[in-house]
Chains A and B, each alone.
Chain A
């Protein structure tokens, strides 16, 4: 523990080159936040992004954006008609859900029971992350006492190994 603390103190004492990193990160943040305001996409662009959310029920797994069958072409036409009439994206999607059922959506809606589909992955990941941290901590606690004492000895051994190997490479011992 004491060892890594020392490292932290040194890390705070940044050299000029390391100082570039925070500045760059700030620049990155500003750049990305500038992305928020984008020109609204064209009607065809909006239509295609809706197409990608709708499944062609005649050809499982394909969205109407991909499918070449008649039904998909008709559905694409409906999407464009409604957009021209001033419908919103959500209204159009809802219209198709009303006519064909929820299966017409390429992904489950983020509401009601279907929220489950979206919540399980992040919750599971968070749980796994916590579990991982706990395991890592328990591994470290178990390893701590032995680690401190033998460090000097191991270090010397490793230095020697590393040096020997660097020479070995120079001699072409490993090359084919």
Chain B
């Protein structure tokens, strides 16, 4: 197994390098045979890596502890299902995973590229294969998952207990795939740039793959939050941990990109800007992978002590500098097809959107590097953690959500202030109404009031737009449900985007609710005693322990009451893993749309008392609804159109408003 895996990995390194060189040279010197063999080499790389992956899985399943990686990350007691997790639990396996995903996605992206991209596709392929060669070479030479021990241990060390949670089946692989997938839109942009194309040929594929990696990162981040919330036992889902930030920054930059690319798709503008954006996103993704592998900051996410840090840092630097150099060389090919006509237009609102998103990304980056700056200049260590990010990024995010309500109401090209005011009147009215009502029922803080008001405004804007469009189509003889589906099918990027916007609003609800109205208490209880937390009361019944091979589990039983009414038993758990000298907790959560009641064990004493940390977390339930909705919106906006791929998207309402904006003739299709 080990030999087969190692040999096919070596083959993959060689072929990826060959394909990179062959693609570039073949295109430069116009050698069709070389191009063809380089193109086919990509598929062989995928095959070779598949063999490596299967060998490693096989080694896990057959307990080949002679392979160091298998011995470090599994043992005889490990349930077979966790092989999936053990595969990427360490540096070596996760690098192999990343290489395989990149190879497979590259092959797919190159295969699906439309005909008008064919002439620069070799350069795209070259970029992708260069990135792949880097990952595979590092895997093979520095972190080979197939390297063998000099002896065969009778049992392995076992899997890290923190990873044995359903969230860990999806969060890490999705995050890693998302980070590495940024390479694909980046390679499309860079390929077109090297060829000296004017700039619009790569846009459709760039957008599609940009959204794919963005959706992977977005759902990965949400799953990570969910995992932290149910496992880590501090009642939170996001800590602005340096590695969380490393995944968050490329996601934010990609969010800017997938908005801005729509302007290029529709209006042929922002050609240079989009290339800058995808370069930034790629640079941040490389940085994210660097942070995962021996970055300078300790974190729950680091892959142990890894010497790969410097290599990844150097590659990150190259991955940022070289593309920008090419960009400056090709600067002249990128003139916009049309110009910005008004500061009151969809185009301009996208620019503000990009500005805010990049600001969030750079504030986050600033927070990560500031401790290094402080140490270098004054020699004193400082910490930059949640309070900094909340204070600085909070207002930026709120402004962004506000823009989410205004931007989509703006027509392309030019809006008249009057039509814009008319379109905004109802949403803004609802927003302000919500703020006043919330104030009257006693919500006092400015931030939550503004946030809830803005959420109401944005929701109203979206619903009003859906209603108007549906009504128009309904007047043409469709039933309401059919009219609604037709509306969405008619412009998927737009209406899918709205669904994603709604999911963002749900996230905002959860974030604001839990950050401002969370109740937290530490209680220590003897059996029979009870404690009151807000409206809730818990009565401690007792704790039972049981031995389960690799761990001892302690399951506590508590009876929970709300307003003196029994609402059920709760069973927070703790497990102790003697091999790891490590314990893990699992919170017991009673989740309702209004609030979560959350109990996590903290300590057990000799005298029979038990400590618990108890939270009441308002509105968190909505955050986990946001996840599926986010995916739904993404799928809608990516769903391929039936006919050609190049026709401009049908954008009925906004096209109509384009016209109204130009003529100043306020429309009959307006809001009356």
Binding site for B on A (CB under 8 A): 3-4, 6-8, 10-11, 17-18, 20-21, 24-25, 27-28, 31-32, 34-35, 38, 48, 52-53, 55, 60-63, 65-68, 101-108, 113-114, 116-118, 120-121, 124-125, 128-129, 132, 136, 139-140, 142-143, 146-147, 151, 154-155, 158-159, 161-162, 165-166, 168-170, 172, 174-176
Contact = CB atoms under 8 A, between A and B. Distances in A.
Given A66-B236, A118-B392, A132 B381 contact: no
Using C-beta atoms within 8 Å of the partner chain, give the interface range for chain B: 35 or more
A129 to B, nearest CB: 7
B464 interface: no
A174 B489 contact: yes
Contact of A107 (B242, B385, B520): B385
Given A106-B386, A146-B339, 4 more contacts: A21-B428, A35-B445, A113-B374, A125-B396
Contacts of B655: 158, 161-162, 165
Contacts of B341: 140, 143, 147
Interface in B295-313: 297-299
A154 B662 contact: yes
Nearest to B242: A61
B383 A55 contact: yes
B366 A3 contact: no
B166 interface: no
Name, among B381, B453, B662, the residue most crowded by chain A CB atoms within 10 Å (CB to CB).
B662
B298 A11 contact: no
B486 A169 contact: yes
B615 to A, nearest CB: 11
A107 B378 contact: no
A128 B355 contact: yes
21 contacts: A10-B664, A11-B417, A20-B425, A21-B424, A21-B425, A27-B436, A32-B435, A32-B449, A35-B449, A62-B234, A66-B239, A103-B382, A103-B383, A106-B388, A117-B384, A120-B366, A140-B341, A142-B339, A143-B341, A174-B486, A176-B642
B391 A7 contact: no
A82 to B, nearest CB: 18
Given A4-B342, A169-B650, A28 B387 contact: no
A38 B24 CA distance: 67
Given A117-B366, A151-B662, A132 B425 contact: no
Nearest to A172: B486
Contacts of B658: 158, 162
Interface string B640-668: 00100000001010011011001110000
Given A114-B374, A120-B366, A11 B418 contact: yes
B421 A11 contact: yes
A162 B429 CA distance: 30
Nearest to B601: A68
Contacts of B392: 118, 121
A63 B386 contact: yes
B542 interface: no
A132 B391 CA distance: 24
The 9 tightest CB contacts between A and B, nearest first, are: A143-B339, A107-B388, A7-B416, A66-B234, A170-B476, A24-B432, A107-B387, A106-B385, A139-B340
Contact of B664 (A7, A106, A158): A7
B383 A136 contact: no
A104 B383 contact: yes
A169 B472 CA distance: 10
Interface of B: 233-236, 239, 241-242, 297-299, 336, 338-344, 348, 351-352, 355, 358-359, 362-363, 366-367, 370, 373-374, 377-378, 380-388, 391-392, 396, 414, 416-418, 421-422, 424-425, 428-429, 432-433, 435-436, 439, 444-446, 449-450, 453, 472-473, 476-477, 485-487, 489-490, 520, 602-603, 613, 642, 650, 652, 655-656, 658-659, 662-664
A162 B383 contact: no
A29 to B, nearest CB: 10
A117 B233 CA distance: 30
Contacts of B421: 11, 18, 21
A103 B391 CA distance: 18
Nearest to B363: A121
Contacts, number: 217
A126 to B, nearest CB: 10
B439 to A, nearest CB: 5
A159 B665 CA distance: 12
B239 A62 contact: yes
Contacts of B339: 139-140, 142-143, 146-147
Contact of B351 (A18, A25, A102, A132): A132
Given A31-B439, A31-B449, A162-B652, A8 B417 contact: yes
A108 B446 CA distance: 24
Contacts of A132: 351-352, 355
Contacts of B380: 101-103
Contacts of A66: 234-236, 239
A125 B362 CA distance: 10
A17 B486 contact: no
B384 A3 contact: no
A124 B477 CA distance: 53
A124 B362 contact: yes
B606 to A, nearest CB: 16
Nearest to B420: A11
A105 B486 contact: no
A65 B236 CA distance: 11
Contact of A175 (B436, B485, B656): B485
Given A7-B418, A162-B655, A175 B242 contact: no
Name, among B363, B382, B486, the residue most crowded by chain A CB atoms within 10 Å (CB to CB).
B382
